[in-house]
Chain A
Amino acid sequence: DTAVSQTPKYLVTQMGNDKSIKCEQNLGHDTMYWYKQDSKKFLKIMFSYNNKELIINETVPNRFSPKSPDKAHLNLHINSLELGDSAVYFCASSQAGTTYNEQFFGPGTRLTVL
C-alpha cells in the first residue's frame, strides 16, 4: 500500500491555465505539507496543514491555494499558471504531537508549464 500518493505524476499544461494536484495519505497522520522542488533540486516548503487547518504559508503567491477536505487529503490548486511554476511538487505527511517531525513524502508531481 502506498503511504503518500499524488496524482497526477506528470502534468503538462499551457500558461494561464488552472490545474490541481491531489495528495492522499493512509498513514493516519494529521499534518500534511506541500513542497516545491525547483530545477536545481532545491526543496522548499510551501504550506502545511494540521487537522485541516493552515499552519504554514511560506509567502507563496495567491495563485496557489491548498485545500484540505479531511485529514487524509491535501490538494493544491494553481490558478493562472506561469512558466516559473514548472517544478516538481511533493506532498508529505507527519504525525503532530510527537517530539520530532519525521515526514513521509509522496512520489512527486512534475508540472511543466509551456
Chain B
Amino acid sequence: AQSVTQLDSQVPVFEEAPVELRCNYSSSVSVYLFWYVQYPNQGLQLLLKYLSGSTLVKGINGFEAEFNKSQTSFHLRKPSVHISDTAEYFCAAFIQGAQKLVFGQGTRLTINP
C-alpha cells in the first residue's frame, strides 16, 4: 500500500533559525512528490513539487526539498524562517495507476519570536 508519513506532528522553531520538516513515502511504483502549505483558515497552496530530474527542488517562499530515492524521503527545508511561515505543512505523493494524491498527517510549524 502506498503511504506518506510525516515524522513530526509539531515543529517549534525560533525566528531566523533553519528548519527541516521530514517526510517519508512508501510506494512500489513511481511517485510524484509535493509539499503543500495551509495557512490558518485557508486552503492548501503548493510549495514545491518533484516530478523527475534534479533531486533538489526549490519552491516558493525560500523553501526547498530533496528527493532521496534510497531513503524514500522528501524532506522540506528552509535556512531561515519567518513568523509568516507559521502554518500546517503537508507532504503528498501522487500515486500513478491509482491516480490520486495521498497526504501525510501534516506538520504544524510554529515560529517563535
Residue of chain A at shortest CB distance from B34: A102
How far is A104 from B49 in the complex, measured between Cα atoms in Å?
Answer: 13
Q: How far is the CA of A107 from the CA of B43 in the complex (A)?
A: 4
Mask, A82-114, CB within 8 Å of B = 1, is 000000001010000001111111111000000
CB pair B44 A90 closer than 8 Å: yes
Whether B100 contacts A105 by the Cβ 8 Å rule is no
8 Å CB contact of A99 from B51, B90, B99:
B51
- Residues in A neighbouring B101, C-beta threshold 8 A: 45, 101, 103
Specify the chain B residue showing the minimal Cβ separation from A96: B99
Bin chain B's interface residue count. 20 to 34
- Chain B residues, CB < 8 A from A92: 44
User: Does B103 count as interface, using CB distance less than 8 angstroms?
Assistant: yes
Known: A100-B51, A101-B94, A102-B49. A45 touches B100 (CB 8 A): yes
The reply to whether A108 and B106 form a contact with Cβ atoms under 8 Å apart is no
Chain A CB within 8 A of B32 CB: yes
Within 8 A of B (CB), among A37-86: 40-45, 48, 55-56
Minimal beta-carbon separation of B94 from chain A (angstroms): 5
User: Are the C-beta atoms of A101 and B32 separated by less than 8 Å?
Assistant: yes
Residue in A42, A55, A106 whose beta carbon sits within 8 Å of that of B99 in the complex: A55
B residues sitting closer than 8 Å to A (CB atoms) are 32, 34, 36, 38, 42-46, 49, 51, 88, 90, 94, 99-101, 103, 105-106, 108
Q: What are 13 inter-chain pairs, A to B, with CB distance below 8 A? A: A4-B43, A41-B88, A42-B106, A43-B103, A45-B100, A45-B101, A48-B100, A55-B99, A100-B51, A101-B94, A102-B34, A105-B44, A105-B45
What residues make up the interface of A, taking CB atoms closer than 8 Å to B?
Answer: 4, 40-45, 48, 55-56, 90, 92, 99-108
